Amino acid sequence: MSQEQLYSNVLVKVGVERSHLLSKEKLERLTDCKTLEEFTSELRETVYGEKLTKLTLPYTSRNFERVFRESLIEVVIKIVRNSPEIVSEFLKTYLLKFEQENIKTVLRAVSVGLPYDEISNKMYMSVENFLKRQELILKAAMAINVKSVVDVLRTTLYGSALITGLQKCEETGSTKCFDILLDRMFYENFGETFKALPKNEQEHAFFYVSRETDKFNILTILRAKLLGYEPHWIRMTISRNFYNVPEQTIEKMLMTDDFESAFKIIKQSYYKKLFVSAETPEETISAAEKSFRRDIFEYRQKTKIGDPFNVGTPIAFIVKKEIEVYNLTAISLGIEYAWKKDDISGLLLF
């Protein structure tokens, strides 16, 4: 079967979904809204309208974020279903982000004794329904303690991360270690599914995979150095997939004594333009995270579509949809907290 035939279904789906994206002008009008009620009214005729009508007062930006993310999940599921089998497993990783978030939610909620109904309402069950793991994740939500959650999920692809996290959790009493180890597992899986792509497809996915994974490794190390974590623990939390920053450079960062020393190393790396010193280390890390996001956005904007019959087309659209969700969430947050229009606009990616 030719590439044109393989990609015909997903390209049609991408075309339809692209027509639902909001224009720059629409986003700019949304920043003029003074209340979340007005914001809702402005979105009524968009793809988000039906879901927004189900929200109850008082509105919150958190509830809006959930609606936007649920819309993203629905779109990614459509793209995965319509993509060629040779790339669908890779594209499915964009859904695993939400499954891992579900597991983090269950672990945190069970640890503080939240009731099952409250836990289940916090999860993105459309992901579990698609992955056919809804019964398992709901069983985990019924667990009486964190250990029981791990016991339910230990035979899944998350098993090793959860077992290691449980040991740390029992030592510290915190579920934060699960978040770190699950994040690492996501990027490990992201890299493995990337390697499983045919060579001609890898070249179209490389930019996105390398940026996301390198960002995760670098910022994880910088945050850990700021908190004074030991190198052996930090090493356990980062992906073993390395792209534009060699493993030797990552190892040098790991072995430094403090944040400043690690920062100096990354300032000499491939990503040096994305790292600028701010007043505090926390602000430096936050600025770098924004720079990575903008770098990916600008690549998506300037890359001209030549041959669309490859995995780059669905990835580029998913990234575009993710950016729209980011923009809408930022606008709703700004409106909720009465930020100035210019402050809201300054956060957006157009």
**What does 251-297 look like in DSSP terms, one character per residue?**
HHHHTSSSHHHHHHHHTTSTTGGG----SSHHHHHHHHHHHHHHHHH
| Continuous segment of H or E residues that includes residue 138 | helix 134-141
* 8 A C-beta contact, residue 214 and residue 245: yes
Q: What is the pLDDT of residue 300?
A: 87
Q: Which amino acid is residue 94, in one-letter code?
A: Y
* 8 A C-beta contact, residue 319 and residue 208: yes
Q: What is the pLDDT of residue 303?
A: 77
Q: What CA–CA distance (Å, rounded) separates 14 from 12? A: 5
pLDDT digits (tens, 9 = 90+) for 336-348: 999 999 999 999 9
* 8 A C-beta contact, residue 191 and residue 241: yes
For the whole model, what pTM was predicted?
Answer: 0.95
In the predicted model, what is the mean pLDDT of residues 158-177?
93
C-alpha closest to that of 209 among 327, 323, 90, 98: 90
**Per-residue pLDDT for 305 more than 90?**
no
Structure confidence at residue 88 as a pLDDT band (50, 70, 90): very high
Q: How do the domains of the chain map onto residue ranges?
A: 98-196
Q: What CA–CA distance (Å, rounded) separates 122 from 309? A: 37
* 8 A C-beta contact, residue 79 and residue 313: no
Q: What is the pLDDT of residue 1?
A: 84
